[in-house]
Amino acid sequence: MNTYTRLPVAFTRGEGVWLWDEQGKRYLDAVAGVAVNGLGHGHPKLTQAICEQAKTLIHTSNLYQVLKQEQLGAKLAQLSGMDKVFFCNSGAEANEAAIKLARLHGHNKGVEIPTVIVMEQSFHGRTMATLTATGNRKVQAGFEPLVRGFVRVPYNDIDSVNQIAEHNQDIVAILVEPVQGEGGIQVPQPAYLQELRRICDSRGWLLMLDEVQTGIGRTGTLFAFQQTGIVPDVMTLAKGLGSGVPIGACLANGAAAEVFKPGNHGTTFGGNPLACAAALATLSAVEEQDLCKQAAETGAFIREALGKQLAGTSGFVEVRGIGLMIGVELDRPCADLVKLALEKGLIINVTADSVVRLLPPLIMTHDEAQQVVDMLAPLIKDFLARK
């Protein structure tokens, strides 16, 4: 169906940070399938794990024990310090699980209309509950009636959360991105998650972090929350987890990990051996190749180098981000830049109308990052110089 305005290019092969199209033209990939291909394209360890698992066993269903799923669950619990995991197939599904978990937690406490606090400019997915949670009218328009049980506050604003807490007795959870991705790479003040943690603790609410985009090394640590000293009650993952093999996860800690009982939630495909093998290979490559550290360093380099080259350019607002989540804000809509970059052999993304978004593979080297900067900065300057 006509759900995407697609760019006029079809990639047929990839290796590392490079993609090739049907004509054999080469492109430098600074989007990584929207924060999915953290290991780049054709990573030998990943392709080997997928091939071996495909030959052995692809799917049996969750009616039986699934050994690869148990291994992946244990690994994610160990890496996050959280207790339990539900596996699904996408970010939206992971957030659906989180929202259902919050509602059940609320009903268990006797709250009749359990309500989740969500943020302006957030993005949580395209299912009915997650598009309702999303703070973007374009995502919601035409799909009313929306789902009940959400209230919205500005991002990075603790006072608004406190105000709502004063007169809404139905709040059971906060759902928030540690850094807003689709919203334009918005990085909150350093103490934001800690403050939210404190409010949740004092009110008995669940702190639910949507790490679908920030997770799996993207921000310079395996999970973004690990830079804050707090642990969430619920965390959702997807994008980078399976390196392109669809998998999502909803992790829970403490009492939240005990909310779901058999029959409360389920999935046919979620956590199948193939997807779990891809995720296990992804996590071990991230660990072995020290990709979190590399993401932090490469990201800092790109932000600094772009900032230097663009400084003083009329129409350039700022470069911001964390790790390999990078936003270049301009003073005007700049969706046209995506096509201009593509012609030059560079893959970039634009979000929130006026923010160039870079989400390069975690494996990007310093030299490749330099090439991104050297291609992108002149493109932006030329674009801003046009009438």
Ligand X SMILES: *Cc1c(COP(=O)(O)O)cnc(C)c1O
Provide, rounded to whole angstroms, the least separation between the CB of residue 96 and ligand X.
Answer: 9
Provide, rounded to whole angstroms, the least separation between the CB of residue 135 and ligand X.
Answer: 11
Go through the chain and tell me how many residues it has: 387
Q: Is the Cβ of residue 171 or residue 238 nearer to ligand X in the bound state?
A: 238
Sequence-separated (6 or more) residues with CB below 8 Å from residue 51 = none
Do residues 207 and 174 touch, judged by C-beta distance below 8 A?
Answer: yes
Provide, rounded to whole angstroms, the least separation between the CB of residue 287 and ligand X.
Answer: 23
Provide, rounded to whole angstroms, the least separation between the CB of residue 236 and ligand X.
Answer: 7
Q: Is the Cβ of residue 250 or residue 377 nearer to ligand X in the bound state?
A: 250
Do residues 59 and 47 touch, judged by C-beta distance below 8 A?
Answer: no
Q: How far apart are CA 104 and CA 96, in angstroms?
A: 12
Q: Which of 31, 85, 92, 117 binds ligand X (CB under 6 A)?
A: 92
Provide, rounded to whole angstroms, the least separation between the CB of residue 130 and ligand X.
Answer: 7
Q: Which of 72, 199, 212, 256 binds ligand X (CB under 6 A)?
A: 212
Q: Which of 69, 90, 132, 243 binds ligand X (CB under 6 A)?
A: 90
Provide, rounded to whole angstroms, the least separation between the CB of residue 214 and ligand X.
Answer: 7
The tokens describing 280, both together, are 């296990």
Instruction: Please give the residues from 218 up to 247 whose contact with ligand X meets the rule CB under 6 A.
Output: 238-239
Examine residue 364 and tell whether it contacts ligand X (CB under 6 A): no
Provide, rounded to whole angstroms, the least separation between the CB of residue 167 and ligand X.
Answer: 29
Q: How far apart are CA 303 and CA 361, in angstroms?
A: 15
Computed from CA positions of residues 337, 324, 31, 41, in that sequence, does the dihedral angle turn out positive or negative? positive
- Phi and psi based region of residue 33 (left: phi greater than 0; alpha: psi -120 to 50; beta: remaining): left
Do residues 228 and 194 touch, judged by C-beta distance below 8 A?
Answer: yes
Give residue number: closest CB to ligand X. Answer: 91
Provide, rounded to whole angstroms, the least separation between the CB of residue 248 and ligand X.
Answer: 6
Q: Is the Cβ of residue 183 or residue 273 nearer to ligand X in the bound state?
A: 183
Q: Which of 53, 121, 213, 294 binds ligand X (CB under 6 A)?
A: 213
> With contacts defined by CB under 6 A, how many residues of the chain interact with ligand X?
15
Examine residue 210 and tell whether it contacts ligand X (CB under 6 A): yes
Q: Is the Cβ of residue 210 or residue 233 nearer to ligand X in the bound state?
A: 210
- ∠ CA 151-153-155 to the nearest 5 degrees? 135
- The crossing angle, in degrees rounded to 10, of helices 273-288 and 44-56 is 160
- The crossing angle, in degrees rounded to 10, of helices 366-385 and 336-343 is 120
Provide, rounded to whole angstroms, the least separation between the CB of residue 122 and ligand X.
Answer: 8
Q: How far is CA 221 from CA 18, 38, 207, 211, 322, in A?
A: 24, 13, 19, 12, 10
Examine residue 181 and tell whether it contacts ligand X (CB under 6 A): yes
DSSP assigned state of 290: T
Residues facing 27 on adjacent strands? 19
Q: Is the Cβ of residue 349 or residue 354 nearer to ligand X in the bound state?
A: 349
Q: Is the Cβ of residue 92 or residue 373 nearer to ligand X in the bound state?
A: 92
Computed from CA positions of residues 43, 337, 134, 229, in that sequence, does the dihedral angle turn out positive or negative? positive
Q: Is the Cβ of residue 125 or residue 149 nearer to ligand X in the bound state?
A: 125
Instruction: Please give the residues from 17 up to 56 whose contact with ligand X meets the rule CB under 6 A.
Output: none
Computed from CA positions of residues 384, 318, 298, 41, in that sequence, does the dihedral angle turn out positive or negative? negative
Q: How far apart are CA 350 and CA 334, in angstroms?
A: 7
Do residues 334 and 350 touch, judged by C-beta distance below 8 A?
Answer: yes
Provide, rounded to whole angstroms, the least separation between the CB of residue 23 and ligand X.
Answer: 29
Sketch the per residue contact string, 116 through 155, with ligand X: x for CB under 6 A, - otherwise.
Answer: -------xxx------------------------------
Phi and psi, residue 71, nearest 5°: -60, -45
Instruction: Please give the residues from 333 up to 362 whose contact with ligand X meets the rule CB under 6 A.
Output: none
Phi and psi, residue 290, nearest 5°: 55, 45
DSSP assigned state of 16: B
Q: Which of 33, 91, 220, 361 binds ligand X (CB under 6 A)?
A: 91
Stretch that binds ligand X, among 85-93, 153-161, 191-199, 328-336 (CB under 6 A): 85-93
Stretch that binds ligand X, among 6-14, 96-104, 208-216, 301-309 (CB under 6 A): 208-216
Binding site for ligand X (CB under 6 A): 90-92, 95, 123-125, 177, 181-182, 210, 212-213, 238-239
